[in-house]
């Protein structure tokens, strides 16, 4: 990819900045060839990768180096796009929002700095991946479980900072962060929470502070660069049981949610409960062309044939319980009784005890895997995906409303419907997975149109996305419109106060610093 300079920066100044970076990190850790720029582009880009081009990348190896780079970025007015491991697939991967931004690649900073088995936490750097942490826990024989996302190739901190979710009782990943160390936009260093007191022993235990706590301010944010984080881990349970139901009809999602949510609020169910639709199971059987060889959406009549032929429900519910075996069994009875009111078929029950093997692909037991990315094979070619991810209250009224709305819009665009609802308590995250072949221009154009329609119609109905691709960050931010976009205006005010040169991640989550505010507006 040819060089796209950052806005308002000349070629000479850009080169001077890179040379200054090299003096900090060493020549080998500043990358600025055409091939390097290609490697920092979105591999799932819904359109040309050149829409979100990086100009270069710099990879510091320590907090001090990050501070030095940030100070130089202020001096040369060269904006930085921090990434942890750059595996935010479906949301932009390692590419920057604003063309010409220099990627600040933190993946070299990959140490597990502390592990406390008794109190169940670790302190890690941003380059620590889920695989790295899992292996560290295994080598230490630490009786602690992680919570992992479907694609666990990425960074533990990066995923938590982007509000990622997993499927264990620790599945709300940003909530597991306790005590951050952050480089601020002027190069200064801050510790959040109790870490604000030098040498405080409770830094990674107490989730608040004396006075305001700024921890969550640095999630989905461009106000600082997280250098280390305390991360809570789940004590390994002695036993576990998984209950699995196939749920026959589409409309059944209503009673399913109304059954699960009260059990979750009452503490009978601890985990985030994931409920995927049928398409997730059909991919087990082959590629799309094996079931429907026409370009448009698989028609409902064919869907019903497939469900019958392969003996599948429209949805699948899997609930895992963790803890003492007797307690798990008692909870399982409560849950089974609640389901039986609607579905006479008993669930599949799978019991597990310490020492038993665990499935190497079961995210509900916190083992990392990247096999979810095999979904790319469904459409064939250079398969890619984007997720449309609104959050709705976890009851039948809202869930069915959301289902019907997105179903209609997706059908109008002649695209296969593949959705899931993850119940996390009072809310459910609805992921609508949109899969496409990157080399099919018509398909990509249709996906972009569909994505715009979904954002617009869903917002009109009173729901917003919790996370989105680079190309739609402005569009989604615009939907958060209370009092003439008061939140965006506050974000901008804070951004300008902390980052007057706008050097950290301009445009991240639709927050543009004054220096680049005219760049607002999606390329999508």
Q: Which of residues 8-27 bind another protein (CB under 8 A)?
A: 26
**Residue 91 annotated among the catalytic residues of the structure:** yes
Residue 193 contacts another protein per CB under 8 A:
no
Residue 57 contacts another protein per CB under 8 A:
yes
In the complex, the smallest distance separating the C-beta of residue 31 from another protein, rounded to whole angstroms, is 5
- What lies within 8 Å, CB to CB, of 13 at 6+ separation is 76, 77, 78
CB 432 within 8 A of CB 369: no
**Candidate list 55, 94, 240, 468; residue touching another protein; CB under 8 A:** 94
**Residue 466 annotated among the catalytic residues of the structure:** yes
DSSP code string of 230-279: EEE-EEPPSEEEEEEEEE--GGGHHHHHHHHHHHHHTTS--SPEEEEBTH
CB 515 within 8 A of CB 502: yes
In the complex, the smallest distance separating the C-beta of residue 107 from another protein, rounded to whole angstroms, is 6
Give me the catalytic one of 91, 170, 418, 436: 91
- What lies within 8 Å, CB to CB, of 197 at 6+ separation is none
**Candidate list 150, 195, 366, 522; residue touching another protein; CB under 8 A:** 150
In the complex, the smallest distance separating the C-beta of residue 74 from another protein, rounded to whole angstroms, is 23
Q: Report the length, in residues, of the chain.
A: 524
Q: If you search the block for the tokens 């209609």, which residue do you land on?
A: 408
Q: Which of residues 333-362 bind another protein (CB under 8 A)?
A: 354-362
In the complex, the smallest distance separating the C-beta of residue 373 from another protein, rounded to whole angstroms, is 6
Read off the tokens for 285.
Answer: 């059987």
**Candidate list 15, 19, 138, 340; residue touching another protein; CB under 8 A:** 138
Give me the catalytic one of 85, 288, 467, 488: 467
Query: What binding mask, one character per residue, do residues 60-89 give for another protein by CB under 8 A, x or -?
Result: --------------------------x---
**Residue 467 annotated among the catalytic residues of the structure:** yes
**Candidate list 78, 107, 259, 432; residue touching another protein; CB under 8 A:** 107
Residue 151 contacts another protein per CB under 8 A:
yes
Read off the tokens for 438.
Answer: 């990157």
Question: Dihedral (C-alpha) 219, 221, 222, 226: value to the nearest 10 degrees?
Answer: 0
Residue 372 contacts another protein per CB under 8 A:
yes
Residue 195 contacts another protein per CB under 8 A:
no
Query: CA separation (Å) from 259 to 124, 252, 335, 347, 359?
Result: 38, 11, 9, 15, 27
Cβ closest to another protein, residue 141 vs residue 201: 141
Cβ closest to another protein, residue 287 vs residue 397: 287
Rg, Å, the chain Cα set:
23
Give me the catalytic one of 71, 111, 175, 466: 466
User: On the CB side of 150, how many CA atoms lie within 13 Å of its CA?
Assistant: 16
- What lies within 8 Å, CB to CB, of 205 at 6+ separation is 119, 121, 178, 194, 230
Residue 253 contacts another protein per CB under 8 A:
no
CB 391 within 8 A of CB 430: yes
Residue 1 contacts another protein per CB under 8 A:
no
User: What residues are labeled active site?
Assistant: 91, 466-467
Binding site for another protein (CB under 8 A): 26, 28-29, 31, 35-36, 38-40, 43, 57, 59, 86, 90, 93-94, 105, 107-108, 129, 131, 134-135, 138, 149-151, 153, 165, 167, 274, 276-277, 279-284, 316, 354-363, 367-378, 382-383, 385, 387, 418, 420, 431, 433
């Amino acid at each position: 990819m040819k060089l796209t300079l950052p806005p308002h920066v000349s070629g000479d100044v850009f080169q001077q900045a890179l040379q200054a970076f090299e003096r900090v990190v060493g020549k080998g850790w500043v990358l600025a060839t055409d091939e390097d720029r290609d490697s920092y582009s979105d591999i799932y880009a819904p359109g040309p990768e050149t829409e979100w081009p990086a100009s270069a990348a710099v990879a510091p190896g320590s907090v001090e180096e990050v501070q030095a780079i940030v100070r130089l970025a202020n001096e040369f007015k060269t904006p930085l796009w921090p990434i942890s491991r750059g595996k935010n697939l479906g949301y932009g991967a390692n590419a920057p929002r604003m063309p010409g931004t220099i990627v600040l690649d933190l993946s070299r900073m990959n140490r597990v700095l502390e592990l406390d088995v008794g109190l169940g936490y670790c302190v890690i750097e941003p380059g620590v991946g889920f695989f790295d942490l899992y292996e560290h826990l295994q080598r230490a024989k630490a009786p602690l479980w992680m919570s992992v996302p479907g694609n666990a190739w990425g960074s533990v901190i990066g995923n938590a900072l982007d509000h990622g979710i997993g499927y264990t009782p620790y599945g709300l990943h940003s909530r597991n962060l306790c005590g951050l160390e952050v480089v601020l936009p002027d190069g200064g260093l801050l510790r959040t929470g109790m870490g604000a007191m030098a040498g405080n022993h409770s830094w990674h235990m107490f989730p608040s502070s004396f006075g305001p706590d700024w921890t969550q301010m640095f999630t989905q944010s461009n106000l600082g660069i997280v250098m280390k984080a305390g991360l809570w881990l789940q004590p390994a349970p002695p036993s576990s049981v998984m209950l699995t139901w196939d749920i026959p009809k589409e409309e059944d999602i209503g009673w399913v949610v109304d059954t699960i949510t009260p059990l979750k609020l009452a503490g009978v169910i601890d985990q985030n409960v994931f409920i995927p639709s049928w398409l997730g199971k059909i991919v087990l059987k082959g590629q799309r062309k094996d079931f429907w060889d026409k370009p448009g959406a698989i028609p409902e009549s064919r869907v019903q044939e497939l469900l019958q032929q392969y003996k599948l429900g429209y949805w699948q519910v899997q609930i895992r319980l963790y803890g003492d075996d007797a307690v798990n069994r008692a909870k399982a009875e409560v849950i089974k009784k609640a389901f039986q009111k609607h579905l006479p078929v008993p669930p599949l029950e799978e019991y597990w005890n310490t020492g038993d093997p665990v499935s190497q692909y079961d995210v509900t037991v916190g083992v990392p895997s990247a096999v979810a990315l095999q979904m790319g094979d469904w459409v064939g070619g250079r398969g890619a995906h984007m997720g449309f991810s609104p959050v709705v209250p976890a009851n039948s009224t809202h869930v069915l409303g959301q289902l019907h709305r997105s179903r209609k819009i997706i059908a109008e665009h002649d695209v296969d419907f593949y959705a899931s609802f993850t119940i996390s308590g009072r809310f459910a995250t609805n992921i609508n997975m949109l899969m496409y072949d990157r080399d099919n221009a018509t398909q990509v154009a249709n996906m972009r149109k569909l994505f715009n329609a979904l954002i617009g119609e869903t917002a009109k109905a009173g729901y917003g996305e919790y996370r989105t691709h680079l190309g739609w960050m402005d569009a989604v931010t615009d939907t958060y419109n209370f009092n003439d976009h008061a939140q965006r205006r506050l974000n901008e005010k804070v951004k300008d106060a902390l980052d007057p040169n706008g050097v950290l991640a301009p445009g991240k989550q639709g927050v543009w610093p004054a220096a680049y505010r005219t760049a607002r507006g999606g390329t999508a």
